[in-house]
Structure 1
């Protein structure tokens, strides 16, 4: 990984941490990334969700860097210009999980603390279930365990079916792109209403890059629900953070998540907080994450 055209990490060892731009060549792809903290610090990898980028983790990157961690977030498949295959089949579960493992291998990281939000959270569950030996700890923000989420969708009384109804649109080729970008991306502006205008503009600009929105939507189109549920036992120490004003994921699935895990588990609810937790609740999330990491120093 490098901050210029290269292949190795530059170290942000300053007493006043800052976020560096970087590139991570991993397998056949090159991922744009943001990194902060001392190059020798304990590595923490962040996975962003839809329709955002690694910029969503800026507050957490800086917070962890101040505590001495090496914090890394990358723009995932479809979001990075150097990792944007056009075919829908390139966005299946195995390909996305493979990207995370390839990034760890490219950085020489044997075990990592993994953090994911939204689709990044769904992917983090998969990595924990399929490659738990690569994780020290797991932190998932917003997204329930896939089995808990599926059960809630099947339970008409839970309300989750209605909360997940947007997925039908996102899986509709062409129509989703048109609706999301119509009227100067009004759909996205409404979704991001709680974020600062300049942040919203950066996310919209990223999705306007050629192929970017289709790549991001291909995560929904290539999904195999059965594969998402069949991830095996998760024993990794896990922190799950959910917010009580999340319009995408309801309380029944969130509260049922712990029953799917067999390792140490902590469930934290952020009150009066919407779906965009890393940004709208940056301080409490960073605090909870630091507490979780500190609880397993030698895991």
Structure 2
């Protein structure tokens, strides 16, 4: 779970609802002072939300980019059905295409972790709405065995406990320093309990069984690609991300001092690397 430093957006951003042909999605929409160089659509990871990108919004606006961070269906402030069929990879990818269409301009697509694999699926359905694709801490196929065990444990627990009960259980397993430092724990709890358990169970299963689709993505014509991560990652090992970038012939960026969430670990450095990539395409 990414832990954003705050759930309060900067002055350049406002929370709103994005109306699309597939329903309404909660977003944070950050705009530069002048005409934007481009528009970015950002998808969060497993158990995450649009707030995971809050620390990127101001520096990206200063660099001239409009950034729209979205809660996917069943994530935090975007409602979703209770049925697992609503969260198949094809359904979530179709949502991304609808979000891009609603923005009414070609977009730079960025997905963090699970969001990267959903982004990949959207591009493979229809490349046309996208100026580029950035995969942030998102690997070529299934997550590590240790992560698969954690996902299975969560799915089994959600079968017999509520989201609020699971949150309380997770707190008992946190290191003492995390328990003793409240921070924005109330916001994190609120996000957790408002996330659809069906979404978590279904997308968790996808992360545990995702096939390697790197060759398919590499074959997408004229799509600039960027693979960015921290220097450590316990979901997909960094050497695996390095290899994926080579297979994709993608730009590769490693953010020093960051782990699985460079967007929250080192936001200034991450925003600079993202803007540099997008700037290079104009």
TM range (shorter): 0.7 to 0.9
2:57 paired with 1:73: no
TM-score by length of structure 2 reads: 0.81
Q: Does the 8 A contact of 2:230 with 2:256 survive in 1?
A: yes
TM-score by length of structure 1 reads: 0.77
Q: Which residue in 1 is equivalent to 2:131?
A: 136
Q: Which residue in 2 is equivalent to 1:247?
A: 234
Q: Does the 8 A contact of 1:36 with 1:70 survive in 2?
A: yes
Give every structure 1 segment of 4 or more consecutive aligned residues whose post-TM-superposition deviation is greater than 4 Å. Answer: 175-180, 187-190
Cα 1:258–1:218 change in 2 (3 A) is same
Could you tell me how far 1:237 is from its partner in structure 2? 1.2
Q: Which residue in 2 is equivalent to 1:186?
A: 171
Q: Does the 8 A contact of 1:179 with 1:187 survive in 2?
A: no
Q: Which residue in 2 is equivalent to 1:256?
A: 243
Could you tell me how far 1:32 is from its partner in structure 2? 0.8
- Which runs of no fewer than 5 residues in structure 1 stay unpaired? 1-15, 154-159
Query: How many residues get paired?
Result: 265
2:201 paired with 1:238: no
Cα 1:81–1:182 change in 2 (3 A) is closer
Q: Does the 8 A contact of 1:169 with 1:176 survive in 2?
A: no
Could you tell me how far 1:82 is from its partner in structure 2? 4.6
Q: Does the 8 A contact of 1:145 with 1:260 survive in 2?
A: no
2:81 paired with 1:90: no
Q: Secondary structure at the match of 2:92?
A: helix
Q: Among residues 255, 260, 268, which one is paired with 1:283 in the alignment?
A: 268
Cα 1:272–1:65 change in 2 (3 A) is closer
Q: Does the 8 A contact of 1:181 with 1:187 survive in 2?
A: no
Q: Does the 8 A contact of 2:88 with 2:203 survive in 1?
A: yes
Considering only aligned residues, what root-mean-square deviation do their CA atoms show, in Å?
Answer: 3.1
- Which runs of no fewer than 5 residues in structure 2 stay unpaired? 1-9
Q: Does the 8 A contact of 1:170 with 1:176 survive in 2?
A: no
2:262 paired with 1:273: no
Q: Does the 8 A contact of 1:241 with 1:267 survive in 2?
A: yes
Could you tell me how far 1:201 is from its partner in structure 2? 3.0
Could you tell me how far 1:202 is from its partner in structure 2? 1.2
Q: Does the 8 A contact of 1:33 with 1:72 survive in 2?
A: yes
Cα 1:205–1:161 change in 2 (3 A) is same
